[in-house]
Amino acid sequence: MRLLLTASVVALSFAATAHAEEGMWTYDNFPIARANQTLGTHIDQAWLDRVRLSSVKFGGCSAGLVSDAGLVMTNNHCVATCVANLSTQAVNYAETGFTPRTREEELKCPGGTAEILTDISDVTERVRAAGEGLTGQAFNRARDAEIGRIEQEACGDATDKRCQVVTLYRGGQFKLYTYKKYSDVRLAFAPEDRAATFGGDLDNFSFPRFAIDAAFIRLYENGAPAETPTHFTWNASRPVENTPVFVTGSPGATQRLLTQDQLFTVRDVVLPMDQLIASELRGRLIRFSEESEENAFIAMDPIVGLENTYKRGLGRMRALTDPGFMRMKAEQEADFRARAEAGVGAENPWTALTAIQPIARELYPAYALLEGRTGIGTTPVAGGSQLFLWARTLVRGAQERAKPSAERLPEFGDARLSGVQSGLFAEEPTYPELEQLELEWWLSKTREWLTADDARVRTLLGRESPEQLSARLVEGTKLADPAVRRALWEGGLAAIEASDDPMIQYLLSIQEPTRAIRADWETRVQAPTDQAAERLAAARFAAYGDTVYPDATGTLRLTYGLIEGSDVPGQRWGAFTTFGGLWDRATGAAPFDVAPKLLAARDRIDADTVLNMAVSSDTIGGSSGSPVVNEAGEILGANFDSTVLTQRNAYGYDRNTNRSVIVTTGAVTVALRDVYGMDGLVRELGVR
């Protein structure tokens, strides 16, 4: 932090339009000419189409096809939950690596799905028309219903497609994205976890870096490897500084189009609460994991995920409390308002958004804690308790499916049900001790933040303590069994209401207050925010044309930049690290211990082989696993991280500080060939 804070004095050079290399562009509005001019490349529409069809969305991560038999490279941390689900304490693939010798040994990731974007079409007018003249909840409902209809019309009941109406520019555009969907995704390779996470949380969001954070999955169709003639060519040659590169993936969410006052709400209310309660959960989980080997095994995946979210939040807090950065954001807004405000008419969107903020500040804690769907926060409902979340899906799903699709909560519209079911029926293990810890934490934090005298808290707890209630629910529920979940889902509302499962009964009992805060938020915050943001988007197009790009929304984007190091305070380093650097950094004490198999292969590895590299392209969480591609369409590596200073890119892009961290195809080749003996994959990738 000492060094990071000094970065506030770095000269910042932003504007409301995109600078060279700024922007997470949609594929239907990629600035081909500008990118070529900036980088000296010669890509064209055909290149874009090939890269798009080779790009894979895998859960919350990105990935890329690397063979014609459905082989896909992503990050190890993107398969960590799959690895955990396939492991037991006795056969723990996180410890040993997952190294199937044949395709037959590849194992299905429970609940895993992968998607390739096949089509984009504009549905802005239809969505807009549906909400015309409406406000509040009615506005939300009408639009959600129309979106559900569009998705249903386009995809019907197809199980190998997914249709999604995507909101871009915070309501400036609505696009229908159609995906080819794979519901059978198998794990083809994962290294030892420590090979992928060397340095652990301490090295996360930093560079220099020494992590083989790569893994392979394989898409299956009809029980066989999918045929994927369009894919990236594997290029494991030594990377060269200043090479132009493109990063293709699905960055999760940015808030660059938020107004000053919206950012202040994030800074003052959202991030502090989210971070503080996450920090306590982290403490509980760390102590839990120290209690026994078994607990360490159980808690590993949740801790890693939590620490990643938390550290990202720290970077964001630093951005929003950095005087220099916030001055830049203020200047951008001033420029925009100077150009556009005269034209916005009576319903000034800045004024409208300012007026919403006190309400957002008031409602945020309850909405985040009780529903966790705010779109800006990270608070996990019920601490992420899987049993609780399954029960919520069952209860709400039954209640909602009893209505016509257009009147349901949108996540239960007909077009979404197959996705809901695949999550619900997945064969995922749960651990009662962990579930109880998560529920107890959530109940106690909800009571603390909303106060014991809040009527919703009284409904949540009755006369029980968080300790008592969480223990009772977890001990009594049968929802860990997928057959039980399937029967309850298929039994519909009658089965749910007749169930004596305490978790189901509990979820039934808390529907009123949780649905109420959601409705309150959607009516008083979300709907007016959406409406104002649309007016802002129109003003922005008027002022800056289509040289602006939309905020990231978890949809496929293409960004571009160079392979290069960094030379700002707190972040001075070259573009590359090597295996030799890894050996030097190792102390032997976790998390600076080299994974055993990797260490054993040390003599077979050229110490000068590039392990990780930095690139200047614009990325954010969700970009994990994104293929890094050169002008020839060859894959050079997979994005797996960025730096703490780069976390400000949630709110604004800074060419000077923005760096993504990449595991190179060269390092992955070494791992496959020299460490883990994955000869089949090596051949499949065409490595000589």
Residues 459-488 that bind a second copy (CB under 8 A): 463-465, 467-468
Q: Which is nearer to a second copy, 204 or 254 (CB)?
A: 204
Check binding of 541 to a second copy (CB under 8 A). Answer: no
Q: Is 273 in the site for a second copy (CB under 8 A)?
A: yes
Give the burial class of 6: count Cβ atoms within 10 A of its Cβ; 0-12 exposed, 13-18 middle, 19 or more buried: exposed
We find the least distance from the C-beta atom of residue 382 to a second copy, in angstroms, to be 16
Q: Identify which of 514, 238, 470 has the alpha carbon closest to the alpha carbon of residue 368.
A: 514
Q: Supply the DSSP string of 258-321, one letter for each residue.
A: --HHHHHHIIIIIHHHHHHHHHHHHHHHHHHHHS-HHHHHHHHHHHHHHHHHHHHHHHHHHHHT
| Distance from C-alpha of 672 to C-alpha of 688, rounded to nearest angstrom | 13
Number of residues that bind a second copy (CB under 8 A): 62
| Residues 626 to 685 in contact with a second copy, rule: CB under 8 A | none
State which of residues 184, 203, 435, 534 lies at the interface with a second copy (CB under 8 A).
Answer: 203
- Residue 174, phi then psi, degrees to nearest 5: -125, 130
* Binding piece for a second copy, criterion CB under 8 A, among 272-280, 488-496, 605-613, 660-668: 272-280
Say which residue the tokens 């923005």 belong to.
658
Interface with a second copy, residue 275, by CB under 8 A: yes
Assess 343 for contact with a second copy (CB under 8 A). Answer: no
Contact residues for 391 (Cβ-Cβ < 8 A; gap 6+) = 477, 479, 501, 503, 504, 506, 507
447 binds a second copy (CB under 8 A): yes
Cα atoms in the Cβ-side hemisphere of radius 13 Å centred on 108: 14
Q: Which of 37, 118, 321, 547 contacts a second copy by CB under 8 A? A: 321
Minimum CB distance to a second copy, residue 2 (Å): 6
345 forms part of the interface with a second copy (CB under 8 A) = no
Kind and range of the H or E element at 542? helix 527-544
HSE, side-chain direction, 13 A CA sphere, residue 448? 11
d(CA 473, CA 514): 18
| Smallest distance, a second copy to C-beta of residue 582, A | 14
Of 419, 592, 677, 687, the one binding a second copy (CB under 8 A) is 592
Question: Which residue in 129, 158, 286, 632 binds a second copy (CB under 8 A)?
Answer: 286
CA 181 – CA 175 distance, rounded (Å): 18
Lookup: tokens for 680: 């089949």
Dihedral (CA of 380, 392, 467, 480) sign: negative
By C-beta, is 72 or 611 nearer to a second copy? Answer: 611
- Establish if 519 lies at the interface with a second copy (CB under 8 A): no
Return the beta strands (E) in 373-478 as ranges: none
Residue from 364, 381, 373, 168 nearest 266 by CA:
364
451 is a contact residue toward a second copy (CB under 8 A): yes
Q: 202 or 338: whose CB is closer to a second copy?
A: 202
Name beta bridge partners: 639: 662
The reply to whether 516 sits near a second copy by the rule CB under 8 A is no
* Rounded Cα distance, 152 and 483, in Å: 28
End-to-end C-alpha distance for the chain, whole angstroms: 44
Nearest distance from C-beta of residue 268 to a second copy, angstroms: 4
Nearer to a second copy, 61 or 611 (CB): 611
| Minimum CB distance to a second copy, residue 457 (Å) | 10
Q: Is 224 in the site for a second copy (CB under 8 A)?
A: no
The answer to whether 644 and 314 are in contact (CB under 8 A) is yes
Nearer to a second copy, 280 or 606 (CB): 280
- Which residue from 290, 475, 512, 608 is in contact with a second copy, where contact means CB under 8 A? 290
CA distance 313 to 14: 22
* Stretch binding a second copy (CB under 8 A), from 39-47, 217-225, 585-593, 676-684: 585-593
Q: Which of 68, 331, 362, 634 binds a second copy (CB under 8 A)?
A: 362
Number of H helices, E strands in the chain: 27, 21
The DSSP code for 220 is E
Q: Is 505 in the site for a second copy (CB under 8 A)?
A: no
CB of 590 to a second copy, least distance (A): 6
Q: Which one, 74 or 444, has the nearer CB to a second copy? A: 444
Q: Record the tokens describing residue 103, joined without a space.
A: 């395709």
Considering only 162-170, 337-345, 372-380, 443-451, which stretch makes contact with a second copy by CB under 8 A? 443-451
Chain contacts with a second copy (rule: CB under 8 A):
1-3, 5-6, 8-9, 199, 201-203, 206, 264, 267-269, 272-273, 275-277, 279-288, 290-291, 314, 317, 321, 323, 358, 361-363, 365-366, 437, 441, 447-452, 454, 463-465, 467-468, 587-590, 592
